[in-house]
Structure 1
């Protein structure tokens, strides 16, 4: 007993007496922290400081407040936004013939370009005071998504001016003079913008761009002024071939000190008319059989005045921070909108095709192999739409959550690839043969575009999600890093001392909390909801606590090496991502009024995310370099083993059945998919065949029974099937007439396009 009392006294003295604590605990810990602190480059530090945290910080803390989470209101369209969606957007969709755009003209028709300018599709993010539409991120996303269900090329053409580029940079950072001149011209389509960042050897790492500007004196408008002499070589620049104004990112140097004492000023952004002497645009790339304008821009010894820097001289050298802040918002809108469009189209059309296409007298969607793929499509589309909505909620609330938008861009584009692969497997030749009726082919070919741009997915997963999340979302690490970086040693030590006790308590709480939840299966965790989803909240809270523990352990043991162990850190990033996606699904389920028909989709999503979290942790423990620490983490977090399972067969089959059922659930899940009630329409021909067959399901059932009895022959279709059924008195005359019409639709829907000799060679599909 005396020994225990003595130990307690020692612990109290060590932690409660400031001088003793600082001398024996804080100072050694401070020195250790500074040694293991991951070194940050200037661009990394700026990226770390850009943007906001939001729900991701709750998830990373290990203590998500689900009640507060469900108080967050989903964004609603304004009256102006809804009117535009109902009118201008619908009109645009009638003008788009994607097969002609891509395969023949390799460009949008002039009437489409004119309509886009006239109706201000390029001005959704520009304020009304400058003639723009000033639409919310939610409206922006909806419009781009719906266009993308019709034409990726048109969607990208609309997307880019409303994402990272001159319009957004001017809105946030431009001088009043720059805003007043350029924004009205961008809003009414007088000028078409592009933004040139990527160079041949500098893609996602903007800090490596070789393009440079030298501050010097030169002639402009007949006068000698201080300006910048620029040299650049950019590629992959969307809209560059037709742009009239070029946003340019470059490194700025001032060797003669004409702007001040700083010689290496840093990354800077400028706005340059493309007709300015020395600016070269016009050459095109051919991005994977798409028709959107993408190309190169060059400049050699191009002299511009200093006031062409976006934001003026004050913003020289601040370009990287500007780009990161704007990209974090755009990354959460544009490419996720394309991925959402992919999900909506593939679920609606593949569900229809799986019912319309028959094998052995039955819709192929009744076969379990096809149902598995259909279940994956429907389940992941539900996740896609849920993630899109939750991220837009943050953006519409004025947040710029850089970690969340990175997760959104990465996982949505990857799931877009997954659902397209599954859809192509089911469609087979229908998806392969290009033509006016192929609604998958161009989207399938465009998928790698989304994977690679606005931060390549490999970089985003391996460096950004956990790399930024571990510091931005952790309740103490960023503040501790700032204390360690304080040039005043004693001042930094005092800051660190205030944080240390809290951090120790945080880590201890996560350790014992994780062990308790692992031993009890999280059954004692509180849940904000009752019913079928309650158990999911308990498990997500448990995994949130586990992430907080493992992140602390990884940073403590590995320090700066964790930055280089990308496979390990990416797995912790996966845990954070799947926690976020699972949260999005649960919130959508509540926001939509707990629809019973959505439960299979919710079950799929949560089973998928929890299983993925378990696999990420398993890989993390298996490859953690300190085996004792790895074993300890595994035992504390999963003392009874990792028991999460993949979605069940029954869940996949329930989703597959839902995708082949017309009605409100199918419409709610695929509302972005555009189709016209026309037999020759790209998506309309399949939708009409599907609806016709569902309407006449009883007729087809009677015919199948008659075939089994031998009353009518097998393998009949079209008019022959209707006439045989009528002759055998299986159908009435009226039913036979209707059957002929539906059979014509069905045969057209399962058919593919073909072309006369010479047409493909000459690419003259239209007269």
Structure 2
């Protein structure tokens, strides 16, 4: 907490209180139902959590990235499915509109998104292009003052809840330089979102496949310049990875807190299991991992806030995301071990923590992609 000022502490406390009241008591039921309560979006908007870092003119709250990251950590501690709503709608969509949108686009979309009256989704990943977004196949063909979009997207968070999709589509065959970004209202004719069921984790999150069948939008829906789309997407993902890292830290902290409580209450051989050296080793290793991941995450946020060079922020973001997501898996697994057989049933939260943690190493760049980014930054060489 030494790196936090009074404003940071107040925001963190506000988020922690919200999580304890509005998220933690319902997380298991949402997981079982495969849907969080849609009303949570309104409450997130009322508290300003969907407008952190957005200009007040558009309904936001002008705070630094560190404040946003602290909120993501607390939301991740409560339920990663809820954290994902904010990370995508605010972190990937609203902040991208704020950075690249026209004044008309900002006035039209940002007040709706920051208030929670609308959500956004980030439509980049496709069935055949995940780690290689430059190879995406969704196409946007110019037709006078309009564009016609056709293609498929997959694993899209908020996909069935969103009012606007930030869609990346190919406007020329020129590899990554031929991709353009568009703001597509999800009620446009030809746009279909279908829920993905049967996920291992993040069951409460609205994850979808998107189909765009000759979706026609005006050129005024284009975000940024023609051919700028991949640069926009990768820039958004750099800071997005810091929010995923923060959520990973929060999840790991929740797992450790639960394991510590359980170890002091559960008795074996006439004593609390917390008296056993090997149990304490599991807890100690977990605490150490969490603190290291938290500091890497905070460092990335502070670098971004300081205006550090993009390459430096990108490296710190990848390090934080890699460390924190792998920590979340390792810690949740270790803490489940503390629970023994009880960790295997969903009356206790450990199984959910482990299932939710696993996807954190996959989306917004797999652990392997983060290692490639780090290696390229260190050597200046693209690995084959």
TM-score strictly above 0.5: yes
* TM-score w.r.t. length of structure 1: 0.47
Aligned residue in 2 for 1:450: 360
Q: Corresponding residue for 1:656?
A: none
8 Å CA contact 2:191–2:215 kept in 1: the answer is yes
The reply to whether residue 273 of structure 1 matches residue 185 of structure 2 is yes
Of 211, 214, 219, which residue of structure 2 is paired with 1:301? Answer: 214
The answer as to whether partners of 1:144 and 1:159 remain within 8 angstroms in 2 is yes
Aligned match of 1:385 = 294
1:103 aligns with 32
Deviation of 1:117 after TM superposition, in Å, equals 3.0
Cα 1:286–1:265 change in 2 (3 A) is: same
Task: Give the distance between the partners of 1:287 and 1:134, measured in 2 at CA.
Answer: 36
What does residue range 299-448 of structure 1 map to in structure 2 within 5 Å?
Answer: 299-311=212-224, 315-332=225-242, 334-399=243-308, 400=310, 401-435=313-347, 438-448=348-358
CA distance in 1, matches of 2:237, 2:245: 13
Checking the alignment, whether the CA contact within 8 Å between 2:176 and 2:230 is kept in structure 1 is: no
1:229 alignment partner, SS class: strand
How big is each residue's C-alpha offset from its partner over 1:105-142, in whole Å with a ceiling of 9 and x where there is no partner? x2222442331233332222321121112332222122
- Among 551, 558, 563, the residue aligned to 2:383: 563
Q: How many Å separate the matches in 2 of 1:246 and 1:457?
A: 26
User: Which residues of structure 2 form unaligned runs of 5+?
Assistant: none
Count of residues in Structure 1 that have an aligned counterpart in Structure 2 = 377
- Mapping for residues 218-617 of structure 1, pairs under 5 Å: 226-253=145-172, 266-289=178-201, 290-311=203-224, 315-332=225-242, 334-399=243-308, 400=310, 401-435=313-347, 438-461=348-371, 463-471=372-380, 563-564=383-384
Cα distance change of structure 1 residues 286 and 123 upon mapping to structure 2, 3 Å threshold: farther
CA distance in 2: counterparts of 1:389 and 1:283, whole angstroms: 34
Q: 2-side partners of 1:286 and 1:123: how far apart?
A: 31
The structure with the greater share of residues assigned to helix is 1
2:75 corresponds in structure 1 to 147
| 1:712-766 Cα distance to aligned partner (Å, 9 max, x none) | xxxxxxxxxxxxxxxxxxxxxxxxxxxxxxxxxxxxxxxxxxxxxxxxxxxxxxx
CA-based RMSD of the aligned residues comes to 2.3
- What's the offset of the Cα at 1:308? 1.1
Matched-pair contact (CA < 8 Å) for 1:93–1:147: no
Q: Does 1:158 align with 2:86?
A: yes
The structural deviation recorded for 1:358 is: 2.1
Q: Greater share of strand residues, 1 or 2?
A: 2
Hey, what's the Cα distance between the residues in 1 that align with 2:19 and 2:335? 27
Conserved? CA contact 2:76–2:249, under 8 Å: no
Contact 2:121 2:164 (8 Å CA) reproduced: yes
CA 303–193 in structure 1, closer or farther in 2 if over 3 Å, else same? same
Could you tell me whether the CA contact under 8 Å between 2:148 and 2:214 is conserved in 1?
Answer: yes
Q: Helix, strand or coil: the match of 2:126?
A: coil
* Distance in structure 1 (CA, Å) of the matches to 2:324 and 2:176: 38
Distance in 2 between the 1:361 and 1:453 partners? 45
Compared with structure 1, are the counterparts of its residues 469 and 180 closer, same or farther at alpha carbon in structure 2 (3 Å cutoff)?
farther
Q: Is the 8 A contact 1:227 1:304 kept in 2?
A: yes
Structure 1 equivalent of residue 111 of structure 2: 184
Q: How far did 1:282 drift?
A: 4.2
Shift of 1:164: 1.8
For the residue of structure 2 that corresponds to 1:109, the secondary structure is: coil
